[in-house]
Chain A
Amino acid sequence: MSAPTEEWRQYICRACGLIYDERLGDPDSGLAPGTRFDDIPDDWECPLCGVTKADFEPYERKAATNPAPAAMAPSRRPGIVIVGAGIAGWSVAEALRQRDSGIPVTIVTSCDGDIYHKPELSIALSRGRTPTKIRQATGGANAARLGVRLLAGTFAVRILSETNRLRTTRGTIAYSHLVLAQGARPVLADAMPPDLCWRINDLQAWSALYQTLAGGSKRIVVIGAGMVGCELSEDLARAGHRVTLLDRERAPVAEFFPPQASDRVKSGLESLGVAFLGSVNVARVIAGSDGLKRVETSDGQSFAADVVISAIGLATQSRLARTAGLAFERGIAVDPQSLRTNVSNIYGIGDCISIEGAPCRFIEPIGKQADIIAQDILGIAHGGYDHTPPVVRLKTKSAPLVMHGLPAKDGEWRVVDSNQARFAMEQWRGQDLVARLSA
């Protein structure tokens, strides 16, 4: 017998999970209380499933894991279910509560539902922000404040539109109205493995990147010089990292802005030390044996990096919408007036929707959209949603840009002002002023 002063230990059966506790022994199979595991004969069997002693391993009790307690007891009354707890999802919950304090609202979200301002993510590093500082409130606290039930860490799996039920990874929920605010996901090209290329579209990803970047200057390759790619590149450079920015276009943000403007952005980024390389296509991203990643372009160039970030675009995942037979065209197609999908008690809002075939992935319209949806659900007469192109701001401080209106592919850009102090352009289509751009 071992010395009685030694602590009692526990062993778990790897097959069935039974725990052998040395203190209690197993009198049924002839092991007196206090029998040390080492003293048990090798041919002893698990009293529950019959595997042998060799299939036991030391057991240390883990802390209870319930990462996402529901903020409220589940309601039996079917209410409004919102999928997604980004700005869009929370805005709908907020708008509903402003008009009806009692109607049951459930938010189903794969994230933890924490509140933060997403546009901040692409400019946060150089401002010394941390995940804690960016988080304005936890999802649980916000749910309690609004009196809604939050199912965090929960994936929406299937919409049963015939019976108004949503299947999730934490059970099935009945709804009277369903609001899809699932957002859009960053896309990756086939040659860009997800375990090598970061995509920054939520606080969770940003926080993980933040941890990775801690501890000194890193070599970073950013793929895609759209608005997010440019803002992230500037932010990373200002935070002391060495950034190479790649894009298939000649200049940054060239798909959206005229050449004079994109050249300004390019110069601005270069003044901060960002190496911009245009007119290149990424052929593949691979892991090197030295722990570095290598980004190889189709014209034979190769860039070594500690961190690779992809910012080549966003797309709405169609799976959930498809399960309910929702019309889908580059996003969940919604009626421009009511924001209803083709199933009348299912709505869409924010990054996941498309209006007349066009997604609109900016923050500004979300508040208006949420208010229309809340009124429509609650049966309050409203004038309909009026979609206008939002004011678009490129937040690169080295060369910021503001765009009013929606530029047309065939419009003509004219320079109004272009000097150190002022920069302004206008886009005309015949007699019509289509868009205005200024620094």
Chain B
Amino acid sequence: MQNAMALEQRLETAWNDDTAVLDGVKTIADGPLRAAATRIDRGDYPIEIMGALGRTGALGAHLDRHGGRAGLAIAAMQEASRACGTTGFLMWAHDVCGLYLEHSGNPALTGAVLDRHARGETFGGTALSNPMKSLAGIEPILLRATKVRGGYTVTGSLPWVSHIRQGQYCGAMAGVFDGDGNLSHEILFMLRCDPPVELKQCPTFSGMEGSSTFGIRLKDYFVGEDVLVADPARQFIARIKAIFILLQCGMATGIVQGSIDSMWEVEATLGHVNRFLDERPDELQGEFDELGARIMKLAETPYDGSRDYLIDVLDARAHGAELALRASQSALLHQGARGYLMSSAPQRRIREAQFVAIVTPAIKHLRYEIARLSKEEQPQ
């Protein structure tokens, strides 16, 4: 017991030190994670590595209880994504799930449940792709809730939810419909991925198969007060929307940095022909540094609720995805045939970058949302 408390204290001390957290992540990224990246891409769910990342403090840094260091959480995600994009994505999902728990204000979720989650002892993701698009008016909401005594029952299916499996959990949102079938509001709740919740195998994706992604099917699933994160959920979502999107930038910047690494790797041997290519590593690095600095600046005020701030966040996220596409493509061109090997990082990163470009909010969603926010509202 004493040992456990001492360990706890040591952990907490190390967690407060940004450099120590990042060094810890780097050690994992350059060691076991880099070695496992190909296997993870093909389907290995790196749960032990996620646990190790949790012990460094990387999965709790952005939480208010650990100083609200969104910038550190993004930097940690970047380091991991530099070695393996799938793991960066899992860190994002995990981080966002931590936000739901902390901001819920629900004593059943903010105590030991959140502590274990932040330390990477338990795991869970976010099923908010459909709700985010639904709130932006892009598609209808898929989970439907009905008020019952003591809570709600929820029915419906979600096609793909990552970082879950039996014994884990995710944040989920359902539309509450009244007797006439009208949407009255939404609820956000923690969904335990245990029976009777059905996890369905997804079709094979072109990459990032180790993200442990399943379809979820619910039938009259009871949601009690102990698992409610927000009811109603709209204001809650509005509050965390910017940080939800901003944290994703870490995936993008990691892929960009990894791609630039791959270009420099072959500079000595192939530089004499690579100089004929369009996007050279120093040019990309310049753009990357400007974007990175901007993201870190935005990370200083993740709860700035202004319209202009949100546009800046959406644009930084879109810029990250676009740069990841360009940089990963260019890295493969720089490496040539060796980058095209199935075991090589450059070809894997192309698919990782494509994922960053299409995962919610995808580039097109980001632009749609920026346009919506930029429009002058007039009476109907």
- Chain A residues packing against B (C-beta within 8 Å): 14-16, 45-46, 48-52, 54-55, 110, 153, 155, 157-158, 160, 162-163, 167, 169-170, 172, 185, 194-199, 205, 208, 212, 307-308, 319
Contact = CB atoms under 8 A, between A and B. Distances in A.
Contact residues on B (Cβ < 8 Å of other chain), bracket: 35 or more
Contacts of B377: 194-195
B55 interface: no
B350 to A, nearest CB: 19
A50 B202 contact: yes
Contacts of B312: 158
Contact of B315 (A52, A55, A157, A170): A157
A420 B252 CA distance: 72
A49 B130 contact: no
A49 B159 contact: yes
Nearest to A45: B200
A194 B379 CA distance: 7
A29 to B, nearest CB: 13
Contacts of A170: 367
A199 B378 contact: yes
B378 A158 contact: no
A308 B378 CA distance: 11
B159 A15 contact: yes
B215 to A, nearest CB: 4
Contacts of B305: none
Contact of A48 (B203, B308, B319, B371): B203
B52 interface: no
B49 interface: no
B159 A50 contact: yes
Q: 10 tightest CB-CB pairs across the interface, nearest first?
A: A49-B159, A51-B157, A194-B377, A15-B159, A169-B367, A50-B215, A155-B374, A169-B371, A50-B200, A157-B315
13 contacts: A15-B130, A49-B159, A49-B202, A50-B202, A51-B159, A55-B157, A162-B290, A163-B287, A167-B315, A167-B319, A197-B379, A198-B378, A319-B311
B322 interface: yes
Contacts of B322: 172
A170 B367 CA distance: 7
B344 to A, nearest CB: 28
Contacts of B156: 54-55
B235 interface: no
A195 B139 contact: no
Given A49-B202, A52-B157, A55-B156, A158 B315 contact: yes
Given A55-B156, A158-B315, A198-B379, 5 more contacts: A45-B200, A170-B367, A185-B376, A194-B379, A308-B379
Contacts of A45: 200
Contacts of A49: 159-160, 202-203, 215
Interface of B: 130, 139-140, 142, 156-160, 200-203, 215, 217, 286-287, 290, 308, 311-312, 315, 318-319, 322, 367-368, 370-371, 374-380
A264 B160 CA distance: 69
Contacts of B287: 160, 163
Given A51-B215, A319-B308, A110 B315 contact: no
B159 A195 contact: no
A167 B158 CA distance: 34
Contact of B139 (A14, A54, A157, A308): A14
B217 A52 contact: yes
A45 B140 CA distance: 19
B290 A196 contact: no
Contact of B370 (A46, A153, A163, A169): A169
B380 A195 contact: yes
Nearest to B319: A167
Nearest to B377: A194
Contact of B159 (A16, A197, A198, A308): A16
Contacts of B376: 185, 194, 199, 205
A205 B376 CA distance: 9
Nearest to B369: A169
A205 B375 CA distance: 12
Nearest to A186: B376
Nearest to A160: B290
A364 B156 CA distance: 61
Given A160-B290, A162-B290, A172-B322, A15 B380 contact: no
A196 B380 CA distance: 8
A15 B158 contact: yes
Given A15-B159, A195-B380, A51 B315 contact: no
A308 B200 CA distance: 54
Contacts of A162: 286, 290
Nearest to B201: A50
Contacts of B140: 14
A199 B375 CA distance: 13
B367 A15 contact: no
Contacts of A308: 379
A421 to B, nearest CB: 42
Nearest to B214: A50
A197 B157 CA distance: 41
Contacts of A50: 157, 159, 200-203, 215
Most buried by A among B308, B315, B371: B371
A199 B89 CA distance: 44
Nearest to B158: A15
B292 to A, nearest CB: 14
Contacts of B215: 49-51
B128 to A, nearest CB: 14
B325 to A, nearest CB: 12
Most buried by B among A50, A195, A199: A50
A205 B378 contact: yes
A48 B374 CA distance: 35
A170 to B, nearest CB: 7
Contacts of A172: 322
